[in-house]
Structure 1
Amino acid sequence: MFRWFALIALLAIAAGLAGTLASVPGTMLLEWGDYRIATSVAVFALALLVLLVVVALLYRMWRAVRRAPQSLIDMRQERRQRRGFEALSRGLVAVAAGDADAADKQARRAAHLLDDRPLTMLLQAQSAQLRGDELAATKFFTAMRSQSETAFLGLRGLLSQAMKRQDWQQSLRLAEEAYQLNPKSEWLVRTLYDLNKETGRWTEAEQLLDRSTTAKVLSAADTGPERAELLYRKSLETTGEDALRIVRKAVDIDPGHVGAAARLARLLIAEGRHRKAVGIIERTWAKQPDPELAEVYWTAKECTDALKKVKAAQQLKLCNPDHPESRITVATAALEAQLWGEARSNLESIAGEDASPRVCRLMATLEEAENGDAARARMWLLRAAREDSASATASPTTEAAA
């Protein structure tokens, strides 16, 4: 719309100028050699305008002729690139669909049309992996690694290959190199962290968590339990005061870490600090009851007989009274002390339709020990076996879905 207004305005201005020139009397005289031209100003202006238009057209024609070869080359290159990108798109779709033959065909076509573009090399590497040709994939990933714009993608491909063949040392080296290129990649940070744990580099893993949290690649909520796990693992490889200091830090970071709490309690017991160990176990039990904690608790309470274990279990239960593990702990100690009523009152409240195999086995033991009822005991054992079988069947499905 604006262009039309501009054109109308220009035409109006031109018409106004033409009218002005035509209304003003006067003659223009042009002499050149033996030639003499006399005309009005309006006619001269019109002739000059026509001349300028002709010159402009001739100049445009000259430019078009001069640029024709390059234009043809550009058109051919544009068409070649368009076909190359079409092949690239089809190849990526084929890789996603798992069609190895189509992916390989389109990868070769894209490589021919687009030369060594990053996406082309990536498609060739993925196509080779889809065919099971790891050597060819390694060649492409290595070529990508040598170019600055594709170095990270090449390293990621080589890293995935190394992890697939469980070459953890090579994986660690590649992950560290990739981390230097892109320290803000959450996938890479988590991979490097797992590799440090896999190779027992607890200090390096902890430093990585600190840097990633500071850089806000990982949140503090995510790294807290992980840092506690690292410190716990590190404490297992140390002894004495160093082990005590490290594992205490782990428990301070994550009071619900069962392994760290149990190790700290054992170290305190070894030093004769039983009351302190009891407090550690009770604090962790309030957050995460676990059979390992119960065993350490009985040691910390110096339970020398079954009745003392029952009393200790009842005291521990008060830290988390509604948790099934609290009831199981009391029931286990009660069965050992032959307190059948105490055992039954704790087990029956959690022995419903969703009872765990562990509860079913304890019920079987109780029925046979208290009443000598082998039939009911067998019923509970069969139920425990069914639950174990169901869990074993569900586990691979869950892992595959993950």
Structure 2
Amino acid sequence: MFRALRFLAFLAILIAAVLWLTDSPGMIRAEWRGYQIETSAALMIAVVALLMGASALFYRGWIFLRRAPGTIATAWRERRRRRGYEALTRGMVAVAAGDPAEAKKHSKRAEVLLNEPPLTMLLSAQAAQLGGDDKAAEAFFKAMSERPETAFLGLRGLLSQALAKGDRDRALDLARRAYRLRPASEWVATTLFDLQAQSGLWLDASVTNDELGRRKLVDRATAERRKGVLAFEQARRAHADGDPAAEFKYLRRAHDLAPDLVPAAARLAHLLAADGKDRRAAGLIEKAWMTAPHPDLAREYLIARRADDALAAVKAMEKLARTNPDHPESHLALARAAADAALWGEARKNLEQVLDAADHDGYAGRALRLLAAVEDGEAEDPARAREWLLRAATAGPDNAWVCAHCGNAAPEWTVTCSNCGQFDGYSWRTPPHAGLHGGALEGRADVVADGGTARLPAPEGKGST
């Protein structure tokens, strides 16, 4: 609309000028070197206007011809670049779709059309990786790691390859290099922390964990928990090195930061009791029992309470159970102590409470085996004892240390999962499958296996079945 109005305005001005010239006749005379030119003013103005127009057209044409080679070359390069990016896009789509042949074809086309190695090398590396050509992928990733603009991507690709091959030393070195380039990358920092933990580099892992917390790449609770777990591992190392003072220092730190870490609480209580600090050891276990009851804590509690006879053990377990009276582990601890003291009725009452509970999975097998021991101890109905043992064989697995990441179950707590390497992944609960992960119980002669169902042994002590 605006352009139309502008054109009409220009046309009106032109018509007005023509009318003005028509209404204002005049003559123009020019004489030069014997030549005379006479014409009207209107014609002279028209001729000058035409000459100006022709000059402008000639100038534009000359500029066009002068710029034509560059314009054509630019258009050709732009078309080539556009086709290259189309090939790059299709290659990325092929990688995402899992089509190695298509990805490789488009990566080669992109290399030819684009003079941008960072982009094409990444696609080529991914295409080679997808096609199973690890050597070619590694070559591309190495080339990328040597260029400043793609160094991080190259190191990440090499790191992923090293992790896939299980080459922990090389992966650790690459993770350190990548971390120096991008310390704010959550993936790199977490991978570096996991590798340091798997390599037993507890001090390095502590530094990395502090950085993760400072940069808010992990929440504060997670960072504090990790500090506690790492302190416990440092305590274990101090114990292996024969440094009891350092072990005790690290155990206190571990328990303060991770009070529900059962192995740390049990070991600290053991050292306190050995040092004659029975009340502190018992109080520590009572506090831990409120949130994380475990058979190891019950055994250490008997030591802390100096329960040298069966009746003293019953009284000690009654006191411990009062801190978490409804938990199945409390009933099992009471039942075992009562059975050891030949208090068959008390033992049976607590075991029935375990079996009647809605959440008795993981505890039923131990309860049934203890019931069999009670029946055997009373010596009144041997057939009934065999019946409890048969039921125990099909009751499902006992609680174990189960990895939250892969479901692997292990008889003892370790800082990293023996199957997937997850840091602090174990928790005391019912395994997600009836049989423990292959190799988890290797070398354990005390494992009870009834009816093909693998389970951990019942708590050690008198009356074990």
State the TM-score, normalized to the length of structure 1.
0.86
Quick check: 1:328–1:359 contact (8 Å CA) kept in 2?
Answer: no
Aligned to 2:236: 236
Instruction: Tell me the number of residue pairs that the alignment of Structure 1 and Structure 2 aligns.
Output: 395
- The 3 A distance-change label for structure 1 pair 358 and 24 is same
Deviation of the 1:185 alpha carbon: 0.6
Higher relative contact order (CA 8 A, sep 6+): 2
Deviation of the 1:385 alpha carbon: 4.7
Aligned to 1:400: none
Quick check: 2:212–2:223 contact (8 Å CA) kept in 1?
Answer: no
The answer to whether structure 1 residue 181 and structure 2 residue 186 are counterparts is: no
The answer to whether structure 1 residue 321 and structure 2 residue 325 are counterparts is: yes
CA deviations over 1:232-266 (Å, ceiling 9, x no partner)? 11111113222222221222222222222222222
Quick check: 1:335–1:366 contact (8 Å CA) kept in 2?
Answer: no
The answer to whether structure 1 residue 69 and structure 2 residue 69 are counterparts is: yes
| Amino acid in structure 1 at the alignment position of 2:344 | W
| Amino acid in structure 2 at the alignment position of 1:362 | A
Deviation of the 1:95 alpha carbon: 2.2
Deviation of the 1:79 alpha carbon: 2.6
The answer to whether structure 1 residue 377 and structure 2 residue 377 are counterparts is: no
| Amino acid in structure 2 at the alignment position of 1:369 | V
Task: Give the distance between the partners of 2:351 and 2:11, measured in 1 at CA.
Answer: 100
CA deviations over 1:147-178 (Å, ceiling 9, x no partner)? 01110010001111112222222111111110
Deviation of the 1:181 alpha carbon: 0.8
User: Which residues of 2 match residues 232-271 of structure 1 at below 5 A?
Assistant: 232-238=232-238, 239-271=243-275
Task: Give the distance between the partners of 1:165 and 1:240, measured in 2 at CA.
Answer: 39
The match for 1:356 among 352, 361, 380 is 361
Task: Give the distance between the partners of 1:385 and 1:29, measured in 2 at CA.
Answer: 122
Deviation of the 1:10 alpha carbon: 5.6
- The 3 A distance-change label for structure 1 pair 90 and 385 is same
CA deviations over 1:17-59 (Å, ceiling 9, x no partner)? 777777777776666653546544x766665554444333333
| Amino acid in structure 2 at the alignment position of 1:193 | F
Deviation of the 1:186 alpha carbon: 0.6
Aligned to 1:399: none
CA deviations over 1:168-209 (Å, ceiling 9, x no partner)? 221111111101111111111110110111111111111112
User: Which residues of 2 match residues 153-192 of structure 1 at below 5 A?
Assistant: 153-192=153-192
Task: Give the distance between the partners of 2:37 and 2:355, measured in 1 at CA.
Answer: 124
Deviation of the 1:226 alpha carbon: 1.2
Mean CA deviation greater in 321-330 or 134-143: 321-330
3-state SS of 1:302 partner: coil
CA deviations over 1:61-102 (Å, ceiling 9, x no partner)? 223222222233223322322332222222222222322222
User: Which residues of 2 match residues 3-402 of structure 1 at below 5 A?
Assistant: 3=3, 34=35, 36=37, 38-40=39-41, 48-238=48-238, 239-352=243-356, 355-367=360-372, 369-370=374-375, 371-372=381-382, 373-385=384-396, 391-392=433-434
Task: Give the distance between the partners of 1:9 and 1:277, measured in 2 at CA.
Answer: 101
Quick check: 1:144–1:151 contact (8 Å CA) kept in 2?
Answer: yes
3-state SS of 1:148 partner: coil
| Amino acid in structure 2 at the alignment position of 1:342 | E
| Amino acid in structure 1 at the alignment position of 2:158 | L
Task: Give the distance between the partners of 1:363 and 1:214, measured in 2 at CA.
Answer: 50
CA deviations over 1:349-401 (Å, ceiling 9, x no partner)? 332575334422322331453243045314422322578997147979xxxxx
Quick check: 2:255–2:261 contact (8 Å CA) kept in 1?
Answer: yes
Aligned to 2:412: none
- The 3 A distance-change label for structure 1 pair 24 and 267 is farther
Deviation of the 1:142 alpha carbon: 0.3
Quick check: 1:126–1:137 contact (8 Å CA) kept in 2?
Answer: yes
Quick check: 2:128–2:136 contact (8 Å CA) kept in 1?
Answer: yes
Quick check: 1:364–1:376 contact (8 Å CA) kept in 2?
Answer: no
Quick check: 2:354–2:363 contact (8 Å CA) kept in 1?
Answer: no
Task: Give the distance between the partners of 1:22 and 1:309, measured in 2 at CA.
Answer: 130
Quick check: 1:327–1:347 contact (8 Å CA) kept in 2?
Answer: yes
Deviation of the 1:215 alpha carbon: 2.3
Task: Give the distance between the partners of 2:269 and 2:149, measured in 1 at CA.
Answer: 53
Task: Give the distance between the partners of 1:32 and 1:218, measured in 2 at CA.
Answer: 94
Task: Give the distance between the partners of 1:281 and 1:389, measured in 2 at CA.
Answer: 25
Aligned to 2:405: none
3-state SS of 2:307 partner: coil
3-state SS of 1:232 partner: helix
Query: What is the percentage of aligned positions where both structures have the same residue?
Result: 41
Quick check: 2:368–2:389 contact (8 Å CA) kept in 1?
Answer: no
- The 3 A distance-change label for structure 1 pair 381 and 103 is same
Quick check: 1:87–1:109 contact (8 Å CA) kept in 2?
Answer: yes
CA deviations over 1:264-316 (Å, ceiling 9, x no partner)? 22222232212111122122222222222222222212221232222222212
Quick check: 1:143–1:154 contact (8 Å CA) kept in 2?
Answer: yes
The structure whose residues are more often helix, as a share, is 1
Mean CA deviation greater in 98-107 or 234-243: 98-107
Mean CA deviation greater in 287-296 or 54-63: 54-63
